[in-house]
């Protein structure tokens, strides 16, 4: 069994993908081809925002978002303590200081109450200027933007949505990648919408930020690439990747997002009576980057993972360390303890999930877990 079956997806879409890639080859416009422009327009429309700027990966998308708002030295950037490293790595890379905030035990997303406490604490301490929030839509479910947007506005903070795992998700009628001032997503192959290599995109309704992102992504260009008005980076989505993504977006919109939700619902129906299954808030729709259960403790997780492995069922631990436990952040001052994040890092386990998973595959995983728990 595959954790995320990209081969099966390719077999399903092979004719269209091969044709799209061969077209790019024969046209020879490998950077910034018309497929990139068309994809950006389509993605912006899909999400419901004015601007989409594609780039080389999701990490750069966060980086470019921070650069567009001039986040840097002396700034505090509030980040959930339980996420992929890049969410806090990029704030640190621009010279800002990540302030780790504990997460909600059910959704694993940043806890709005703790967020506000952290902002007030940083203000009182007076060493850093509260400047931005990077809210992460972990495992495919949007963070609590009703609360977080209000907090950002109240404290005049820039709100960046790290939507690397949530493309396709929504809260009511609002789509992931449309929250806050600016949003970053990733097209890493195993993300909800993935390409065949690295890729990413920035989304915003802010004309000025969009213009700056386009500039920073191409060496701080002014009127053209050889007119350089600021220090930037080189971060673009290859035309081949854009061509692949446009085929994949068709499938994603037509049935993949629907199918993965069907698989997730089936898992939850079968598992909820004996293990802590993911909690999706009312009115939220997840894009299921991961299906993550919570075990009782680290040793139970180890045992469950071992049993699954003997049946050749892959499972993953996202994430084995909370951010403040990472060596790279050992010198970053921790304003508040993050017991929930610490606990999650010991108890979470992500199970195989993808849009092409069959009911039989789900049954196999469920029965192994059930046998283990009933033993
Ligand atoms: C994957 C991921 C990123 C980084 O995306 P890349 O395309 O791998 O650079 C950032 N944040 C989160 C939460 C992610 O899951």
pLDDT confidence band for 172 (50 / 70 / 90) = very high
Q: What is the mean pLDDT of the chain?
A: 97
According to the model, what pLDDT value does residue 372 have?
87
pLDDT digits (tens, 9 = 90+) for 283-314: 999 999 999 999 999 999 999 999 999 999 99
Expressed in angstroms and rounded, the spacing between residue 177 Cα and the centre of ligand 1 is 14
Whether residue 375 has pLDDT greater than 90: no
Residue 199, ligand 1, Cβ within 6 A: no
Q: What confidence category does residue 180 fall into, taking pLDDT thresholds of 50, 70 and 90?
A: very high
How confident is the model over 122-141, as a mean pLDDT? Answer: 97
Tell me the pLDDT tens digit for each residue of 232-242.
999 999 999 99
For the Cβ of 91 lying below 6 angstroms from any atom of ligand 1, the answer is: no
pTM of the predicted model as reported, rounded to 2 decimal places: 0.98
Question: Is the C-beta atom of 216 inside 6 A of ligand 1?
Answer: no
Rounded to an integer, what distance in angstroms lies between the CA atom of residue 303 and that of residue 47? 41
Ligand 1 pocket, 239 CB below 6 A? no
Output Rg (C-alpha) for the chain, integer angstroms: 21
- 139 ligand 1 Cβ < 6 A: no
Give the pLDDT confidence of 77-115 residue by residue, as tens digits. 999 999 999 999 999 999 999 999 999 999 999 999 999
Residue 84, ligand 1, Cβ within 6 A: yes
Q: Is 136 in the pocket of ligand 1 (CB under 6 A)?
A: yes
pLDDT score, position 22: 98
Cβ of residue 260 lying under 6 Å from some atom of ligand 1: no
Helix/strand/coil (H/E/C) assignment for every residue in the chain: CCCCCHHHHHHHHHHHHHHHHHHHHHHCCCECCHHHHHHHHHHHHHHCCCEEEEECCHHHHHHHHHHHCCCCCCEEEEEECCCCCHHHHHHHHCCCEEEEECECCCCCCECHHHHHHHHHHHHHHCCCEEEEEEEECHHHCCCCHHHHHHHHHHCCCEEEEECCCCCCCEECCEECCCCCCEEEEECCCCCCCCCCCCCEEEEECCHHHHHHHHHHHECCECCCCCCECCCCCECCCEHHHHHHHHHHHHHHHHHHHHHHHHHHHHHHHHHCCCCECCCCCCCEECCCCCEEEECCCHHHHHHHHHHHHHCCCCCECCCCCCHHHCHHHCCCCCCCCCHHHHHHHHHEEEECCCCCCCHHHHHHHHHHHHHHHHC
pLDDT at position 374 over 80: no
The pLDDT of 204-226, averaged and rounded, is 96
pLDDT on residue 52: 98
Ligand 1 atom at minimal distance to the Cα of residue 86? 10
Taking the C-alpha atoms of residue 359 and residue 176, their distance in angstroms, rounded to an integer, is 28
Average of per-residue pLDDT across 324-344: 96
Question: Closest ligand 1 atom, CA of 136?
Answer: 13
58 lines ligand 1 (CB under 6 A): yes
Cβ–ligand 1 contact at 188 (below 6 Å):
yes
pLDDT tens digits, residue range 226-275?
999 999 999 999 999 999 999 999 999 999 999 999 999 999 999 999 99
- Best of 134, 186, 235 for a ligand 1 pocket test (most atoms within 8 Å of beta carbon): 186
Q: Is the CB of 135 under 6 A from ligand 1?
A: no
What is the mean pLDDT of the segment spanning 347-357?
A: 98
Query: Measured in angstroms, how far is the CA atom of residue 207 from the centroid of ligand 1?
Result: 25
Rounded to the nearest whole angstrom, what is the distance from the C-alpha of residue 318 to the centroid of ligand 1?
12
């Amino acid at each position: 069994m595959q954790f995320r079956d990209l081969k099966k997806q390719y077999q399903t879409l092979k004719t269209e993908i091969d044709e799209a890639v061969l077209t790019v080859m024969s046209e020879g416009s490998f950077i910034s081809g018309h497929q990139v422009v068309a994809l950006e327009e389509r993605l912006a429309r899909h999400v419901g925002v004015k601007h989409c700027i594609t780039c080389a990966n999701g990490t750069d998308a966060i980086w470019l978002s921070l650069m567009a708002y001039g986040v840097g030295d002396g700034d505090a950037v509030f980040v959930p303590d339980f996420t992929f490293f890049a969410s806090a790595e990029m704030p640190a890379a621009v010279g800002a200081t990540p302030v780790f905030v504990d997460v909600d035990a059910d959704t694993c997303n940043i806890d709005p109450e703790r967020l506000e406490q952290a902002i007030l604490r940083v203000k009182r301490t007076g060493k850093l200027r509260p400047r931005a929030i990077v809210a992460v839509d972990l495992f495919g479910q949007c963070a609590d933007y009703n609360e977080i947007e209000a907090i950002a506005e109240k404290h005049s903070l820039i709100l960046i949505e790290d939507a690397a795992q949530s493309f396709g998700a929504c809260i009511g009628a609002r789509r992931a990648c449309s929250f806050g001032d600016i949003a970053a997503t990733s097209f890493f192959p195993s993300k909800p919408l993935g390409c065949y290599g690295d890729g990413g995109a920035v989304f915003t309704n802010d004309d000025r930020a969009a213009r700056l992102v386009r500039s920073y992504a191409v060496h701080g260009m002014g009127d053209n690439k050889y007119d350089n008005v600021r220090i930037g980076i080189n971060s673009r989505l290859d035309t081949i990747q854009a061509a692949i993504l446009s085929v994949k977006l068709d499938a994603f919109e037509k049935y993949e997002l629907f199918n993965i939700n069907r698989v997730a619902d089936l898992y939850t129906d079968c598992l909820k009576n004996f293990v802590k299954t993911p909690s999706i808030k009312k009115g939220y729709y997840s894009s299921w980057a991961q299906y993550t259960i919570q075990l009782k403790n680290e040793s139970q997780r180890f045992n469950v993972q071992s049993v699954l492995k003997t049946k050749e069922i892959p499972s993953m631990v996202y994430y084995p360390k909370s951010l403040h436990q990472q060596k790279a952040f050992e010198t970053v001052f921790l304003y508040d303890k993050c017991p929930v994040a610490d606990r999650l890092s010991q108890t979470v386990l992500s199970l195989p999930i993808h849009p092409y998973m069959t009911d039989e595959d789900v049954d196999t995983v469920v029965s192994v877990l059930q046998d283990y728990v009933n033993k």
